[in-house]
């Protein structure tokens, strides 16, 4: 059993804001566990209420839906997407591991490589989008060219990622406070000072089924795309953390944050339908008071910058996980920094090379494709954690090349594959329209099909799983887990 002095020493290491985080994909021992439930709300509120969320909010307006029905669709999709995302947060404190390492029991050491590569692609793609948007916004504010600003802001976010977990939490904690003030001012000013044309707020006679469902699907997909890295930012929490409490705090932060900024995007698009997303936001803010639009862009841009660091950080952890499955890897601080540099630098270069209107023209398609690939995974992972194994895993065996979880797990692979195939007829993209989606007039029900199909199939495939033997191995393998995972000094 660990001494109080050892626990205090480990907590001091974990909380030292001036030190670069030592850990990456390895288990976080009890001596280094710390944090507050409110941290899960603030990191996800600021991580959600950033400028990239404007794009999802504006989709309904561009499809011809009015503001009221757009907001209702955004709220419904956000709620549906937030539920699985927040559920993943409870895995971090219980297992003390990043999100994607936890995929090995469902897919196997080699079987999960495809999932990890998809996750790295999601992270990398978000960094490209983030840098592109940050550069364009900086240029709009007259702070420098899009390319120069994008490179500078990309470097800053890489620094946040290198210092790691604590810096990212602290940065978004303070950003949340400023965001709350800015968003409250915007809401009050728009509702009571600016107003909208009657056709934008009318409920009766303005509902359009296809655009409404597209808004629901888009907001669901956008929220769901963050499921890959929720546990990355809860894994230092004490294992005694209440499942319900951490799910609630994460859901509140992520749900309220994303809906708030999506709503701002919808408002801007409704007031200035011919302008870019960020210009519409700036002009909307300036209607409340001169110069307030620039303040909104700076605050939302700051949240986006730190969120970009979160994406680089999570991408590096996932890349290390994939590498460790091919060749047993020592998860050192040096390796984490190198992988952060690879993802951060390459994505930043691509982000500044893209046209500044990229976010306005291509975002929805990229978002949908990434979410299609992710939906079956989140179903399999959550069903395994909450229903099949009920959170009972061996940390030691997850990292054991010859462990009980094996190299290939046909159950997870089959459930994922069949779930993805079941989604194809329901997909609706610019380059592909599934037959069912076309028959329904362009309504995309793919997520509502893939998630339940993946979850149910995995549960059925696991009915003959010998959990009794597995749990006996788990009890022995992790008996001295914390003694093995000593604090890294």
- Residue 360 CA to residue 358 CA, distance in Å, equals 5
Helices of type H across 289-394: 292-326, 333-353, 358-383
What gap in Å lies between CA 376 and CA 451, rounded to an integer?
5
Residue 338 has pLDDT above 70, yes or no: yes
Alpha helix positions (H), 388-432: 395-398, 410-423
Q: Domain for residue 94, yes or no? A: yes
Instruction: Give the pLDDT of residue 4.
Output: 47
421 falls within a domain: no
Q: Which long-range contacts (CB under 8 A, 24 or more apart) does 279-287 make?
A: 279/140, 280/58, 281/51, 281/54, 282/140, 284/186, 284/190, 284/194, 285/186, 287/189, 287/190, 287/193, 287/194
Domain count, the chain: 1
Q: Which domain holds residue 160?
A: 4-371
CA distance 9 to 312: 28
CATH number at residue 51: 1.10.4160.10
Residue 400 inside a domain? The answer is: no
Least confident stretch, 14-23, 95-104, 284-293:
14-23
Longest alpha-carbon distance in the chain:
68
Q: What is the mean pLDDT of the chain?
A: 89
Q: What percent of the chain has pLDDT over 70?
A: 94
Rounded Cα gap, residues 283 and 304, in angstroms: 20
**Which stretch of 193-202, 284-293, 391-400 has the lowest confidence by average pLDDT?**
193-202
Q: Which of 479, 420, 418, 465 is nearest to 106 (CA)?
A: 465
Q: Considering the domain boundaries, does residue 444 fall inside one?
A: no
Per-residue model confidence (pLDDT) at position 233 = 95
267 pLDDT more than 80: yes
Tens-digit pLDDT profile for residues 361-374: 666 677 677 778 88
pLDDT digits 0-9 by tens, 100-125:
899 999 999 999 999 998 889 889 98
- Tell me whether residue 412 is in a domain: no
Per the domain annotation, does 451 fall within a domain? no
Name which residue leads in pLDDT, 377 or 199: 377
Nearest alpha carbon to residue 214 among 359, 45, 365: 365
Nearest to 1 by CA among 31, 28, 33, 34: 31
pLDDT digits (tens, 9 = 90+) for 155-186: 999 999 999 999 999 999 999 999 999 999 99
Q: Work out the pLDDT band at 13, boundaries 50, 70, 90.
A: very low
Rounded mean pLDDT of 119-142?
92
Question: What is the average per-residue pLDDT within 247-268?
Answer: 96
Which range, 90-94, 356-360, 445-449, has the best average confidence (pLDDT)?
90-94
Separation CA 280–CA 360 (nearest Å): 12
Asked if the structure places residue 342 within a domain, the reply is yes
Domain annotation covers residue 385: no
DSSP 428: B
């Amino acid at each position: 059993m660990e001494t109080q002095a050892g626990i205090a020493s480990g907590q001091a290491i974990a909380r030292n804001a001036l030190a670069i985080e030592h850990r990456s994909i390895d288990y976080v021992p009890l001596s280094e566990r710390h944090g507050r439930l409110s941290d899960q709300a603030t990191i996800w509120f600021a991580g959600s209420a950033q400028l990239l969320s404007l794009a999802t909010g504006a989709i309904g307006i561009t499809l011809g839906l009015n503001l009221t029905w757009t907001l209702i669709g955004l709220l419904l999709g956000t709620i549906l997407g937030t539920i699985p995302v927040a559920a993943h947060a409870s895995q971090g404190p219980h297992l003390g591991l990043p999100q994607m390492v936890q995929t090995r029991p469902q897919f196997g050491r080699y079987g999960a490589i495809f999932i990890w590569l998809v996750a790295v692609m999601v992270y990398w793609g978000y960094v490209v989008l983030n840098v592109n948007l940050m550069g364009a916004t900086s240029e709009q504010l007259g702070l420098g060219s899009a390319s120069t600003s994008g490179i500078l802001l990309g470097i800053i976010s890489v620094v946040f990622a290198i210092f790691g977990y604590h810096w990212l939490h602290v940065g978004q904690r303070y950003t949340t406070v400023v965001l709350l003030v800015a968003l409250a001012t915007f809401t009050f000013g728009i509702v009571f000072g600016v107003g909208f044309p009657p056709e934008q707020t009318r409920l009766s006679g303005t509902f359009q089924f296809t655009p409404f469902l597209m808004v629901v699907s888009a907001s669901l997909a956008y929220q769901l795309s963050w499921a890959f890295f929720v546990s990355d930012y809860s894994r230092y929490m004490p294992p005694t953390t209440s499942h319900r409490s951490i799910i609630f705090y994460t859901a509140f932060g992520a749900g309220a944050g994303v809906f708030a900024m999506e709503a701002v995007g919808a408002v801007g698009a409704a007031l200035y339908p011919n302008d870019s997303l960020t210009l519409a936001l700036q002009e909307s803010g300036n209607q409340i008071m001169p110069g307030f639009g620039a303040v909104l862009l700076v605050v939302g841009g700051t949240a986006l910058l730190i969120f970009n660091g979160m994406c680089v950080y999570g991408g590096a952890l996932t890349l290390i996980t994939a590498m460790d499955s091919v060749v047993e890897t020592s998860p050192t601080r040096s390796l984490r920094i190198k992988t952060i540099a690879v993802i951060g630098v390459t994505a930043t270069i691509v982000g500044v090379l893209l046209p500044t209107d990229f976010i306005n023209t291509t975002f929805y398609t990229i978002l949908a494709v990434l979410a299609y690939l992710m939906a079956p995974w989140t179903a399999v992972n959550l069903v395994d954690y909450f229903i099949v194994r009920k959170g009972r895993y061996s940390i030691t065996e997850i990292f054991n090349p010859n462990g009980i979880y094996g190299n290939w797990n046909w159950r997870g692979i089959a459930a994922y594959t069949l779930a993805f195939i079941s989604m194809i007829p329901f997909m609706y993209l610019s380059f592909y329209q599934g037959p069912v989606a076309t028959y329904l007039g362009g309504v995309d029900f793919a997520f509502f099909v893939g998630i339940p199909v993946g979850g149910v199939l995995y549960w059925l495939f696991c009915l003959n799983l010998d959990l009794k033997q597995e749990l006996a191995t788990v009890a022995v393998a992790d008996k001295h887990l914390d003694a093995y995972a000593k604090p890294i000094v």
